[in-house]
Structure 1
């Protein structure tokens, strides 16, 4: 999926829509093209009723011949049709009103569409109204001579509010729709400002003095009364851009930039991100959406959010930044439904696999075999005393649903000592070699994925029930308790030697957690925390500390990595533990019984898989496991809570044929990845793909265990057909995977190297 800018990000992002129609903002590139730049960056943007995009760069980018025959630099207003072509009257260099022509010599300061869709253009200390259909001048007003203005604001009656950039040079003034002066709204402003907004009825002013590190809300009971500060909202915002979303109560405001960092309001602990616009619902006081500028240079102080405008239907957003001339100043985003790239293929291995109060562990090995646990007893064994005793088992299924020859597993023998699986099953995970870590109450066993034989075991803390474990790329195994704070999160090496504690005391009940490949980040899904805590350390010799709270609103009981990727899949909650309960200003709309794919690199939600409930709103169908085939084309989801429904559902990635074989090519919205040729190959093969538009392409080859073999390309490429050559000289015979990532869309395909 393309760049999600949510990041809902607060990944919250995603959820501007309802639970039935979740959406995200997909980055659609620079607008109108990559060459629209200069003039020290953008300083005004608006969209008219026809969808035309009106823009200003702050400084001169054109010139005009004066009456004296000399050329003089001018600021212009550029107007683009939705397809990026220029409107016939664009660029606008002069404005004629009442027979008097003004040339736009002075700095551009802001744009706003008025109640009729005509455009208010601020040129230093003057506000012009231009006809949105023709670009012709209609009226102008100069609130205070010599005082530079912010972008204006307009209420539903057409009253125009103007304000100074620098306090307290001038008041906030109100003019009617004919530019007749009505009076002062605020006699003296506080804080430098670039933009502010007013409510539809004109009785609330949202003052974004960005040096105040918050937004002051001025209100009046009616048009005959004075305004007064009645609230301070969006504490931590250094906002330089504000606008209303069409036909809604959502006020969009930028939180800050790397020049004016957010989160500096005294006494308030906040975690707003630079270069993100957040949607603040003025009715509920909650953040309901977000949109993130895609930085051209990391942490660039010269990319400062300075404008945001929406198409009339609210489904396209145009964002603008200010500060330098060396990057495109407008980015386009499209509101897009969050759809799954996986189709449900029914119950696995069949409709009869149920019981034991539901599932509690699932993993897939390098051969594609699916390992499963039900939490309680579903079989029995004859004891040494000749009696039958109930046991928990590990059931292992081939990809076609038949049982593996060594399944079910009832006992584990290690070093000549046999343990019977009497205790409750608690989780499964494949380790770095593909062998399976099996948790039986307070013990972790390692089983050979080819034979089911026991290899090793460890008991982190006697009597303390464990979650599913986590494993890093070096084979270090992380264990954690279900119930806090009964035991720490502990680290064992690949031979189960104790290395130390990662987290001395856990927070929140947990069923699953994950660690990054390098082992330096722990994603802690204490589902009673209603979010996921991110613990990090700079290196293996340092201590972990909480550095972020992500996926706010998640009551997650299941987490896993997608193969060969930076995509962390996590369940959002269930009808037993509903999502969207994280306290505070963030409003989220995650759906129960859905696993969301979180790109840990971008912070975006890029995919989802939804469990098909057997009973509507069933609290006893709680997501408890997810695992992928080695190529990532199949997913196996598991639920827990009762014995009366099949506990595993199988999902197939779009682009894979119904017989389980990959199609020769995989199509997604912005590129096509074809099958390599020749295949099998020795030692070279060609990987063809096609891009629908230019952008950064990352193609990486992995081995069967998900270890990176080679990066074939990581650079911006032009639209069209491309071929890459992979040379396997020096590698072992076997199956390899090649993965293409373009924006936030990822496709993986398989190839066979045979010497």
Structure 2
């Protein structure tokens, strides 16, 4: 028996487009051969990732989609021929394309303020959520004092409009500046343009006084960044008095894995890079010892 139902829309050479909103329509229409009386039609769509829609009832219908790529459509119908034969009829399954030529819009009202937790403060980034339906994530970049270029910091889910940078401590005042910018990314691998650059001062340490002769008021071991890491991470710490400094890395059984600092140091802020390429994945302890001060923190290596 020959082909008794088929699609007049779309066709195998058909191309639809994602619009500026991040969505695009796929409309279908089926018809039947002369001499057939169709009781019902159904159509089903297969997305580029292989997921399928439910059967849609109707001779005509459609879907809204956000992902560019190759789609497949199939149809079926139940009816009878005027000669008396009745049963299921199937349309040929075929593929067609959806194209996205639009990038997301730039996130609006990007700003950096201060998030306080009592005895600590951090930069807080906020922005208005984009409205495109094909959004994926927001990409945030950062440039710290002394760095020439911006570097990737993190991604934030599409439905979240804030991020607190807990790796920059004592934000809101201090001798240093940290800068941020961001852009939007969609599921079709398009990026928006960057936002403007927003910045905030930070001191990294508690100090007394308001001059260049400020006095460091505490010892402090910061959380490594990035964490988890592979294979390198940065450990920041500060010391308020001259002393012999030991900064070591241990496994959870207490076995020493690396010595990062082993010498006298003046009061100040320090940054040490640790490369864990020779270690296996897992949780490690890094320990700072200086004068009577001891502080330990955990970090996670994932390979």
TM-score (norm. length: structure 2): 0.29
Higher RCO (CA-CA < 8 Å; seq separation 6+): 2
